[in-house]
Amino acid sequence: MYHAMSSDASATAGVTLTPGLVRRVWQFAHHYRARVFWFLGIVVVESLLGLAPPLVIKTIIDHAVPNQDLGQVTTLAVIMVAVAFANAGLSMVERWLSATVGEGLIYDLRAALFDHVQRQPITFFTRTQTGALVSRMNNDVIGAQRAVTGTLGTVVSNVVTLVTTLAAMAILEWRLTGLSLLLLPIFLLPAKRVGRRLSGITREGFDLNASMNATMTERFGVSGALLVKLFGRHDDEAVSFSDRAGRVRDIGVRSAMYSRTFIVALTMVGAVGTAVIYLIGGRLVISGGITIGTLVALGVFVAQIYTPLTSLTNARVDLMTAFVSFDRVFEVLDAPNPITDREGATELVDPVGRIQLDHVTFSYPTGAESSVVSLESAAQALAPDTGSGPVLRDIDVEIEPGQLIALVGPSGAGKTTISQLLPRLYDVTQGAVRIDGHDVRDLTLDSLRAAIGVVSQDPHLFHESVADNLRYAKPAATLAELEAAARAARIHDVIAGLPDGYDTVVGERGYRLSGGEKQRLAIARMLLKDPAIVILDEATSSLDSENEAAVQEALAHALAGRTSLVIAHRLSTITDADRILVLDEGRLVEQGRHQDLLAAGGLYADLYRTLVRGDLLGA
């Protein structure tokens, strides 16, 4: 009743329950159709069995007792017990069917959503609010499940209970039945008003709880906790959180009082209705119009009709709200994914690492092409998105197997973008990216990405053990293989010195490790993958000299015999490169070896002099 009372009609404003949506929901639940039918059938049977006790009581009062028929009394008592046991058994079966259908549907929806979302292109994640996406995985999936088992079953049960109860009452005494219905508006009108108020309070409480959760998520993360401590804002944070928690407390009190008001009103109407039935019915009994048993049965029935009647006044809103959840889930499932395997895509077998950028031009996709508007922030969703224009323009380069290529250029020149086109995090707008002569769009994503290893400036580590983070590259790797990769990355001694060795949990985002240690662990993970092509995206730019030396030593082993693309601001990597590609505003403006480019006196020479000054200042 509380749910029915607080149902929010505004949440479904503008939503249409189309046949297409209903049909798709039914198709999605096709594995459970037989169980749904059994579930609804049992609900109907339970509603019908609910008529039995009042009618049995009527028979006992009107026939068995006056006739002093002990056998009939016994039989009717056994019938009542049998009905109770039957209801109990059916209730258990109904709950099992409801649970298996509901939990199975939650599983199917979550599994489908997770699989679809994690395959989305990287642009999807750069535009999507993580909290909104997690909400779809939790709240909306549960809401969708409730549509099939909770709301549907409740509506069917209420309809059957109401129809059968009113029919039984009308057969027993139609005048008292009509009188009991006249009392309903006295309850419904104030209940709807209280319900609207309770709905607003409930929404406000949800918003405040969401705000508290967001605050806790940000402040309890390592980065947030560190920021609070460094700025000494503990007291301010405590006051701010206490204020929100206090408002949630006050809303909880108001909500409790409104809901209790509703329950009291329902109880009062039921009591008044029962009293009126006995008042008028008692007069009819005295005048001989009805029997005592009929009066008692009507008294029981009248108490049973107010709950389903009240619930059914919100049935449309309940159904629409539940189907809105399905609609929101399908909205994510329908999000386009342009980065998929083409039909007939081939495996990249035994890659050697030859790379060709064949007149590549690239523009980042717009939001309409790569995201779901309702998952973006409000400001982002309202802002016009006409695209940013080309960030790479006619890049034409061939890289031989085993070469070390350095990508340099001003910020925003397109260096990282090139590195993202190789593993198909994005697809080119014009031209082609080829690996070993194959257009990457003609290769399977699994085989393409298995051939490429990436170590970024801030490598991501999961809040798991060192071994688990390493095995993300090779799940079946033995401890000996882990140690071999760690030794090659010059990180084994550090791991061995940790409290639990390779079983030590590294902390959220690897915060228990230093920057250099995380880099070397990422290099070890890449070595376990054993790729033909390695991409280093400014992997040493934020390290001090000591850590950089350790990482460079690890990289020297990691890059041996592999085609390598290095985006770097440190001189050592640049000067040792087989070739340097100089980018400016998305164009390849120079390429060659270090000494040749210095002698040319172009953009590279200017950048190099800036790097020299930076290194000298850093030293």
Q: Which residue has the higher pLDDT, 460 or 42?
A: 42
Identify the residue with better confidence: 273 or 289. Answer: 289
pLDDT, greater one: 76 or 553: 76
CATH number at residue 23: 1.20.1560.10
Summarize the confidence of residues 440-446 as an average pLDDT: 93
Q: Where are the alpha helices (DSSP H) in 119-221?
A: 122-127, 130-135, 141-146, 152-172, 174-182, 184-220
Q: Provide the pLDDT for residue 107.
A: 85
User: Mean of the pLDDT values across residues 194-221?
Assistant: 67
447: confidence class by pLDDT, cuts 50, 70, 90? very high
**Owning domain of residue 282:** 2-333
User: Exposure pattern of 28-63 as b/e (b: 16+ CB <10 Å)?
Assistant: bbeebeebbeebbebbbebbeebbbbbbbbbbbbbe
- Which of 607, 478, 489 has its CA nearest to residue 551? 489
The pLDDT of residue 545:
60
**Per mean pLDDT, which of 311-325, 521-535, 563-577 is the most reliable?**
521-535
Q: Quick one: angle between helices 184-220 and 222-230, nearest 10?
A: 70
pLDDT band at 382 (very low <50, low <70, confident <90, very high): very low
The stretch 135-141 carries a mean pLDDT of 75
Task: Tell me whether residue 131 is in a domain.
Answer: yes
State the average pLDDT over residues 187-215: 65
**Across-strand partners of 564?**
404, 534
In single-letter form, the type of residue at position 237 comes to E
3-state SS assignment for residue 543: coil
Segment 197-207 mean pLDDT: 66
Using CB atoms within 10 A of its CB, is residue 68 exposed (0-12), middle (13-18) or buried (19+)? Answer: exposed
- CA proximity to 555, closest of 475, 508, 489: 489
Q: Is the pLDDT at 347 greater than 90, yes or no?
A: yes
pTM (predicted TM-score): 0.72
Residue 71 vs residue 538, higher pLDDT: 71
Torsion sign (Cα): 98, 99, 100, 102: positive
Q: Are 29 and 148 in contact (CB under 8 A)?
A: yes
Residue at 203 is within a domain: yes
Per-range mean pLDDT, top range of 217-226, 359-368, 504-513: 359-368
Candidate from 414-418, 442-446, 560-564, 606-610 with smallest mean pLDDT:
606-610
Q: What is the average per-residue pLDDT within 299-311?
A: 78
Residues 6+ apart with CB under 8 A from 380: 127, 367
In the prediction, which pLDDT does 617 show? 35
| pLDDT top residue among 597 and 207 | 597
**The pLDDT value given to residue 202:** 64
Q: Is there a domain that residue 264 lies in?
A: yes
**Across 86-101, average pLDDT:** 90
Average pLDDT over residues 82-100: 91
Residue 277 buriedness (CB in 10 A; 0-12 / 13-18 / 19+): buried
The pLDDT score that the predictor gives to residue 389 is 78
CA distance 572 to 110: 48
Residue owning tokens 């250099």 = 516
Q: How far apart are CA 378 and CA 46, in angstroms?
A: 47
pLDDT band at 559 (very low <50, low <70, confident <90, very high): confident
Return the SS3 of 10: helix
The residues near 570 (Cβ < 8 Å, ≥ 6 apart) are: 540, 541, 548, 611, 615
In 339-464, where does DSSP find H-type helix? Answer: 367-370, 378-382, 415-421, 445-450
Q: Do the domain assignments include residue 125?
A: yes
Task: For residue 210, give every residue at least 6 positions away whose Cβ sits within 8 Å of its Cβ, in sequence order, or none.
Answer: 131
Does residue 150 lie in a domain region?
Answer: yes
- Going from the C-alpha of 267 to that of each of 155, 303, 475, the distances in angstroms are 22, 9, 61
Q: What integer pLDDT is reported at residue 217 of this predicted model? A: 66
pLDDT surpasses 70 at 131: no
What is the reported pLDDT for 23? 79
Residues 427, 425: Cα–Cα separation, whole Å: 7
**pLDDT of res. 467:** 93
More confident position, 399 or 308: 399
Count CB neighbours of 527 within 10 A.
24
Task: Kindly report, residue by residue over 233-249, the tens digit of the pLDDT.
Answer: 778 888 888 888 888 88
Whole-angstrom Cα distance, residue 78 to residue 60? 12
User: What integer pLDDT is reported at residue 207 of this predicted model?
Assistant: 64
Residue 1 pLDDT grade (very low, low, confident, very high; cuts 50, 70, 90): very low
Binned at pLDDT 50, 70 and 90, residue 86 comes out as: very high
**pLDDT reported for residue 570:** 62
Evaluate if residue 377 carries a pLDDT over 60. no
Length of the chain: 619
> What pLDDT, on a 0 to 100 scale, did the predictor assign at position 552?
72
Strands 587-592 and 579-584 come out as antiparallel
pLDDT of 482 reads 92
Contacts of residue 21, Cβ cutoff 8 Å, sequence gap at least 6: 323, 326, 327, 330
- 355 φ, ψ to 5°? -120, 135
Q: How many CA atoms lie within 13 A of 288 on its CB side?
A: 0
pLDDT > 70 in the chain, percent? 79
**Number of other CB atoms surrounding residue 27 within 10 Å:** 9
User: For residue 224, what pLDDT is reported?
Assistant: 72
Q: Is 221 domain-assigned?
A: yes
Q: What pLDDT, on a 0 to 100 scale, did the predictor assign at position 33?
A: 84
Q: Is residue 57 part of a domain?
A: yes
* Closest-CA residue to 415 (of 606, 578, 588): 588
> Band of the pLDDT at 178, cuts 50, 70, 90?
confident
Structural domains of the chain, count: 1
Q: What is the pLDDT of residue 436?
A: 94
**Residue 349 placed within a domain:** no
Handedness of CA 339, 345, 351, 356 (dihedral sign): negative
State which H helix or E strand residue 45 sits in.
Answer: helix 33-49
**Residue 448: CB atoms within 10 Å:** 24
| Cβ(359)–Cβ(394) below 8 Å | yes
Residue 474, judged by CB atoms within 10 A of its CB (0-12, 13-18, 19+), counts as middle
> Averaging pLDDT over each range in 303-312, 540-549, 571-580, which range is the top one?
571-580
Joined together, the tokens standing for residue 580 give: 């340097």
What secondary structure letter does DSSP report for 148?
Answer: I
What's the pLDDT band for 385 if we cut at 50, 70, 90? low
Predicted confidence (pLDDT) at residue 582 exceeds the cutoff of 90: yes
Provide the pLDDT for residue 10.
45
